[in-house]
A and B are shown apart, each in its own frame.
Chain A
Amino acid sequence: DAGITQSPRHKVTETGTPVTLRCHQTENHRYMYWYRQDPGHGLRLIHYSYGVKDTDKGEVSDGYSVSRSKTEDFLLTLESATSSQTSVYFCAIRREAEQYFGPGTRLTVT
């Protein structure tokens, strides 16, 4: 257990609405990541952070933005949700050269 929590755990929202997912860690790790997981695609990196206010894009960053104003929190925002963003979202931290994952957030965009 790497002390990672994600909120909410489940969310249903309508197309066009903004959505923010939160990842919280308790161990002050520098690196944090957001992934999405879809059948047939596996885990794909959306954005990652290497420190407070330091973020970079992953392979599937279009339509997503992130913010990290505190070491312990990494927020993922969908400015205007689309049905293609229906997925399971995982947050991860890097500890001792390995990634540890949170429990996931299941997001459904109707």
Chain B
Amino acid sequence: KNQVEQSPQSLIILEGKNCTLQCNYTVSPFSNLRWYKQDTGRGPVSLTIMTFSENTKSNGRYTATLDADTKQSSLHITASQLSDSASYICVVYSGGSYIPTFGRGTSLIVHP
């Protein structure tokens, strides 16, 4: 069964600090992995996409990594801002399937 596990479940940091969110997956065959950001009361929005051949990809202060051998991904947030407070969801797309596998998300709270 395809699964995506995220850690930690929740995280509280001070504004300006860095943090790293983790995602482990057992999805086969792998097509790509995306990190979504979900603000309170809104739908998830894609931040980055990682394909099999990509190790690192940045989107502003967000940097995603992918290790396809160990089936792990991370999302690193640099110099956090209050607006980074949200849930971050790891989603893995399988080749040949139109239904992705979702992690349960990491809830990030950034305090001033």
Q: Which residues of A contact B (CB under 8 A)?
A: 31, 33, 40-45, 48, 50, 58, 90, 92, 94, 97-104
Q: In angstroms, how far is the closest chain B Cβ from the Cβ of A33?
A: 8
Q: Does B49 contact A (CB under 8 A)?
A: yes
Q: A40-B104, A104-B41, A104-B42 are in contact. Are A50 and B89 (CB under 8 A)?
A: no
Residues of the B chain whose Cβ atoms lie less than 8 Å from the Cβ of A92: 43
- Cβ contacts under 8 Å, B98 to chain A: 31, 48, 50, 94
Tell me if B102 is interfacial: C-beta within 8 Å of chain A.
yes
Shortest CB-to-CB span from A90 to chain B, Å, is: 6
Using CB atoms, name the residue of chain B closest to A40: B104
Interface residues of B (CB under 8 A from A): 31-32, 34, 41-46, 49, 89, 91, 93, 98-100, 102-105
Q: Verify A98–B104 contact, CB threshold 8 A.
A: no
| Inter-chain contact B43/A104, CB cutoff 8 Å | yes
**Closest chain B residue to A31, Cβ basis:** B98
Is the Cβ of B104 less than 8 Å from the Cβ of A41? Answer: yes
Q: A43-B89, A43-B102, A99-B91 are in contact. List 10 more A-B contacts (CB 8 A).
A: A31-B98, A43-B44, A97-B93, A98-B34, A99-B100, A100-B46, A101-B44, A103-B43, A104-B41, A104-B42
CA A92 to CA B32, docked complex, whole Å: 18
Pairwise interchain contact A42-B102, C-beta atoms closer than 8 A: yes
Distance between Cα atoms of A40 and B104 in the complex (Å): 7
A42 to B98, CA, bound (A): 18
Query: Which residues of A lie under 8 Å from residue B49 when comparing CB positions?
Result: 98
State whether A98 touches B46 (Cβ < 8 A). Answer: yes
The residues of B that contact A101 with a CB separation of less than 8 Å are 43-45
A-B contact pairs, 29 of them (CB 8 A): A31-B98, A33-B99, A40-B104, A41-B104, A42-B89, A42-B102, A42-B104, A42-B105, A43-B44, A43-B89, A44-B102, A45-B99, A48-B99, A50-B98, A58-B99, A90-B44, A92-B43, A94-B98, A97-B31, A97-B32, A97-B93, A98-B49, A100-B46, A101-B43, A102-B43, A103-B42, A104-B41, A104-B42, A104-B43
